[in-house]
Amino acid sequence: MKKHRKICYCNTALLLMILLAGCTDSKDEEAHQPSNQASAVQSDEKHTETEDSTKIRKDESELKTGSEEPATKASNETTSEEEESKKDNVLAAYSSEKIEYARVWLQLGPNQEIDELHVRHISAGEPINPNDDTSASYPEDVTQLAGSRLVDGSVTYHGNGDGTIHVYNVPLRWDSADNLEKGVMREVTESIIKNTKKVYVDTGDDEKIKRLITIMMIH
């Protein structure tokens, strides 16, 4: 009877050990499951972060490229406009005085087919007719333009500095004073001063002006 009871105790103890072992394994599995789920969540988060980071870098690259293209285009257009401006402005290498002489002759010169354009400056106070002591004098500085031949004619004017000039109707060569009555030359030259004309000077054709400048001789 004691032996039978001992066996029962052993079987009962063994059964309890098996039950305890089963509970322990179950708890271990439950403990591992959250860890595995956390790992999966972390993996998904890292994957999402990687995709977002890649998309951001791509967007930034496209934005940078897009902003650089208009800037480059604008720079190229500006350079092209500057080059065209230099080509169009064929008179950029010449002084404003020479351009003015050429423009005046181009507009008022009697003969445009000249070989040389002579420029002579006459100061205020000098006689209009240098060959006659009775001649009236210029009231202001003037410039006289003439060709190399008498038939080319001449233009005598004073520049006003505002795009206009006063034109003096002065001949390039005067007749001899011996053939005139006394006092006539005075009247003639004073009439020239009173009847000066104010003329607006056109800009003219740049190529023609350039040609006149190249044959210009300033005295």
Q: Give tens-digit pLDDT for 150-166.
A: 999 999 999 999 999 99
Q: What is the pLDDT of residue 90?
A: 85
pLDDT > 70? residue 84: no
Please report the sign of the dihedral spanned by the C-alpha atoms of residue 74, residue 78, residue 81, residue 87.
negative
Mean pLDDT on 4-28: 50
Amino acid at 67: S
Burial zone of 138 (CB within 10 Å; 0-12 exposed, 13-18 middle, 19+ buried): buried
Per-residue pLDDT at 138: 98
Q: Which long-range contacts (CB under 8 A, 24 or more apart) does 88-97 make?
A: 89/206, 90/206, 90/207, 90/210, 91/206, 91/209, 91/210, 91/213, 94/210, 94/213
Q: What percent of the chain has pLDDT over 70?
A: 58
Average pLDDT, the chain: 77
Across residues 9-37, what is the average pLDDT? 50
Position 23 scores a pLDDT of 44
What's residue 34's pLDDT?
A: 45
Structure-token pair, residue 144: 């006289």
- Give the separation between CA 158 and CA 69, rounded to whole angstroms: 54
* pLDDT value at 94 more than 70: yes
**Which residue reads 């009236």 in tokens?**
136
Tokens at 118, concatenated? 């002579």
- Residue 169 pLDDT more than 60? yes
pLDDT bin (cut points 50, 70, 90) of residue 175 is confident
Quickly tell me which residue has 């070989």 as its tokens. 115
Q: What is the pTM of this model?
A: 0.60
DSSP string of 157-197, one letter each residue: EEE-SSSEEEEE---SSPPPGGGS-TTHHHHHHHHHHHT-E
With 80 as the cut, is the pLDDT of residue 187 above it? yes
Residue 69 pLDDT: 57
